Amino acid sequence: MKMVEIRIGMKKPGAGIGALVGALVTVPIVVLFLVAGRLFGLPVAPFDLFDWTTRRLPGGLVNFGIDAMVRTIGALGLTGTDTVAKAAEQAMAIGLSLVAGTIAGSLLFLLLRRSGRDRAPLAGLLLGAAAGAAALLIRHALGRGAAGTSAVGSPWTFALFLCWGGGLGWAYRRLTRADGWAAPSVAGESGSAVERLDRRRFVVRLGGAAATVTVVGATLGALAGASRRRGAAGGRGRVWSADNPLPNAGAAIEPAPGTRRELTPLEDHYRIDINTTVPAVDEASWRLRVGGLVERPLELTLSQIRSYEPLHQFVTLACISNPVGGSLIGTTRWTGASLQRVLSDLALKPTATHLKLSSADGFYEVVALEAVRADERVMLAYDWDGVPLEPKHGFPLRIYVPDLYGMKQPKWIVSIEALDHWEEGYWIERGWDRTARMQATSVIDTIAVNMMLTQANEKTRIPIGGIAHAGARGISRVEVRVDDGPWSEAQLRAPLSPTTWVLWRYDWPFQKGNHTFTVRCFDGQGAAQIVEPAPPAPSGATGLFSKSMKI
């Protein structure tokens, strides 16, 4: 068949094509943000947009989302709730940006249908400039504009959004070329068919370019992430626990095989915060600013805080979002300065009654001075297990308050403001419990069916073990029930400290069959843990933990 070349007048693309182009142009821009953030610590606008959006949602909606995410992770049997949740947040941030880019492309194409193709490049650049300016304002509102990379990060962010907007404008102009790209066609083929073919080719090529950038970017990001993790592990230094015995090393009760480690490895300690990415804090320029009701404002360096007599504490921390038996709990050795000792140098006015602690990520909480003066264990922590805090766990400074959930203990602290009244903290404003006192809880970690104990003239026994925890109140008793039988008291291993979990063990007389094992605990004052099931919100999860299996 004879091939001919035709010239056509093309129909202007509408909202549908604009949405598709918007998505295809947004994908590589998002990838570039992610790769630059991973490689060079530059701002990641999609994460900023997500964080800014979630902080303005109603507290009830945020709490519902948190609960739904934790429940879903548990239902899927995924390990590392905090890691999975953070990955899910980042995925949602990327999705939100793609949706925004798709909508923007659709609206821009609708607008250009009225204004004409000649204005497309300028309109696209103006849209990109507006989006870039909004991104910078959002970053400033989140308190991230002062990061060490801002001198490069702001121009980088603005330039990428200009490229995004310019790409949309260029795509519209390309789709409406007056000559229809002089597309070859079979003789007799209609102009509309050529138009559809040409546009299809363009969209396929655009999609291929987006896919290429995505694959290359994802590969670079993965390699950079692996290199960074290796560097972090190698640069951490030798932890205290590697060279020192734990304080209960000679305890008479040995944990049942399969019980979690008594001291949580640092790499396994949970992380929960309000950020999709870790706040960037430069130690050299960081200062703890002290103001409000003080005789004179002052700033403390990390070295000055370290100069106070160090306080070492073995502590179990838990997130208030942790379900019964969840993984958002960990124990390690914290080091810091007792806030009680630091108070004398803060020159507080007599009218001061509370301290408001604010973080680099915009988080804040209020601590009563009465609680600080009554308990020297309240401390400004800078080390854990003998090494400095890792960036994602609050470097350079965080607070520890005994008996309270992690929502009351800010990380990345940058300021302390003395107040003459109490104020709601970040999560209290969003509907969580004002006190956030840790609930007593107990968990079965292991039913060691492969470690049966047999002794002469005695019944074969199976070791069962786990943890029990009640904040700073301690644990006085743990009991185990098999099926509907009586409660039997378990043995308690001496804890690392009064503020850590207790490992318990029960050697169960073996009986073949299907069994359900349930555990309960009593705190140091003899109060039983709450039996009635309750979700984490707003005061922490309650209920008994059970595990069923065929033996």
Q: What is the mean pLDDT of the chain?
A: 89
Strand segments, DSSP code E, in 1-124 are 3-5
Pick the most confident of 3-7, 55-59, 451-455: 55-59
Q: Is the pLDDT of residue 184 over 50?
A: no
pTM for this predicted structure? 0.86
Instruction: Dump pLDDT digits (tens) for 205-227.
Output: 766 766 776 677 667 666 655 55
Cα 445 to Cα 463, 468, 508: the distances in Å are 11, 11, 14
Mean pLDDT of the 304-318 span? 98
Phi and psi at residue 23, to the nearest 5°: -65, -45
- What pLDDT shows up at residue 192? 54
The mean-pLDDT minimum among 115-119, 319-323, 348-352 falls in: 115-119
Residue 2, classified by CB atoms within 10 Å of its CB into exposed (0-12), middle (13-18) or buried (19+), is exposed
Question: Looking up tokens 């995004």, which residue turns up?
Answer: 164
pLDDT cut 90: percent of the chain above it: 72
116 band by pLDDT with thresholds 50, 70 and 90? confident
Instruction: Dump pLDDT digits (tens) for 419-455.
Output: 999 999 999 999 999 999 999 999 999 999 888 777 6
180 band by pLDDT with thresholds 50, 70 and 90? very low
Cα 177 to Cα 20, 60, 452: the distances in Å are 18, 50, 79
Question: Looking up tokens 């291993």, which residue turns up?
Answer: 493
- What pLDDT shows up at residue 146? 55
- What pLDDT shows up at residue 212? 74
Mean pLDDT of the 317-335 span? 96
The 10 Å Cβ neighbour count of residue 463 is: 21
Q: Is the pLDDT of residue 294 over 80?
A: yes
Domains and CATH numbers, the chain: 3-230 (no CATH), 266-419 (3.90.420.10), 441-550 (2.60.40.650)
- What pLDDT shows up at residue 9? 46
- What pLDDT shows up at residue 342? 97
- What pLDDT shows up at residue 75? 84
Counting every residue written for the chain, the total comes to 551
The 10 Å Cβ neighbour count of residue 489 is: 11
- What pLDDT shows up at residue 39? 85
